[in-house]
Amino acid sequence: MTRKYDRVPELSLKAYTDGDSEARKEFQQALWEGFKYFGFIILKDHKVAPTLLKRAYEMSAALFAQSEDYKMRFFREDGQRGYTPFGREHAKDSKFPDLKEFWHVGREFEEGSPLADFYPSNFWPEKPDGFRETFLEIYDALEEAGMVMLEALAPSLNVDADYFRRMATNGNSILRLLHYPPIPEGADPNSIRAAAHEDINLITILVAAEGAGLELLDRDGKWLPVETEPENLIVDAGDMLARVCNDIVPATTHRVVNPAGPNVSRYSMPFFMHPHSEAMLSCLESCRGDGAKYADISADQFLKQRLQEIGLAG
C-alpha cells in the first residue's frame, strides 16, 4: 500500500475525462489506491447535472409521501422493480429488518426486446408527475458515470479498457430510491436503518444522501463516517468486483446508522451497477496470485443467491 488514508479520497472525474495523459494517469492511480485501501472513493466534477439530482430527490420524497395503499399497488414479491415496504429487507446473515422502504427502477427496454426474457419490466406511478422521465434520465447519467469509472479502473487490472463496459452493457443495473423514515416508536432496538453489509454488484454509485448516517468499516476495524458535498457521488466496490479481483479490491462493509440528532427522514439514491445476466464472474489473471478464491459463477446465479440471503427472493 503506497499511502495510508484517514478519509475516503475525493477525485475529480473531469481530470480523467477532460485532462491530459498525465492527469488521466494520476486519476487512474488514485482510483486504484482508493479502491484497494477502502473499496470506496468520492467523485466530484462529474457530468450528472446538479439540477437533475435536486429534481430526483424532490420526486423521491414526493413518492414516499404517498399513502401505503398507493405504494403497495407497485409491490413485487421479489423486490426487483417497484416498491418494497418498510422493514422487508435485511442484511445478509442478519435476522433484524432494516428500517427503510425503497423503490427500484431497472433498465427500460422496448417491447419485444430479448432483454424481456431476463429482466422484469419497470413500474411507473402516475404521481408525482414526470417520475418516469426524471428517473430514466438519472439512470442513464449514473450508468455512464459508472462506465467511465470502470474504464479508468481497467488498466490497473491489466484488462482491455472496454472489459467492464462490455460486461455491464445491458446489465441488470438498478437505481434504488431509498427512504429511511423517522425511527418509529417500538422499533426493534437491534434494527438500524441499514445493517452492516457489502453490496452485491460491480460498483455502486451513490448520490450523496440528504442526511448523515453512512459509515464504512475501515482497515483498523473502526467505523468511519462517509460524508461529502451534496452534488458529489460516493462510489464503492461490490461483491462481484471483489470476486473477479480476488479481493484485491475489497467489497467494504458499510452501514447506515440511526440518527444521533433530530429523528427525521433520510433520503438516499444508490445506483447498483450490474453485469449482464450471462456474464461470468471469473478471477482476472492479474489478480490470481496463488489461485482464485472463488469458483466461476454467472452474474445471474450470483444475484439470485444473494437476493435470497437478504430476504428479497424465495
pLDDT in tens, 86-104: 878 877 778 888 899 999 9
pLDDT in tens, 198-242: 999 999 999 877 777 899 998 889 999 998 888 899 999 999 999
Q: Is the dihedral of CA 95, 99, 101, 104 positive or negative?
A: negative
pLDDT in tens, 235-275: 999 999 999 999 999 999 999 999 888 899 999 999 999 99
Rounded CA separation 84/74 (Å):
8
Rounded CA separation 97/87 (Å):
5
Q: Give the CA distances from residue 239 to residues 27, 202, 216, in Å, rounded to whole numbers and listed in that order.
A: 23, 7, 15
Q: Name the E strands within the chain.
A: 10-12, 40-44, 82-84, 101-105, 174-180, 194-197, 203-210, 214-217, 223-225, 233-237, 254-256, 266-273, 280-281, 297-298
Q: For the domain 10-309, what is the CATH superfamily, name and number?
A: B-lactam Antibiotic, Isopenicillin N Synthase; Chain (2.60.120.330)
pTM for the model: 0.93
Q: Where are the domains of the chain?
A: 10-309
- State what percent of residues in the chain have pLDDT above 70: 97
pLDDT at 1: 46
| Residues in Cβ contact with 311 at an 8 Å cutoff, skipping those fewer than 6 apart | 88, 89, 90, 97
Rounded CA separation 261/258 (Å):
9
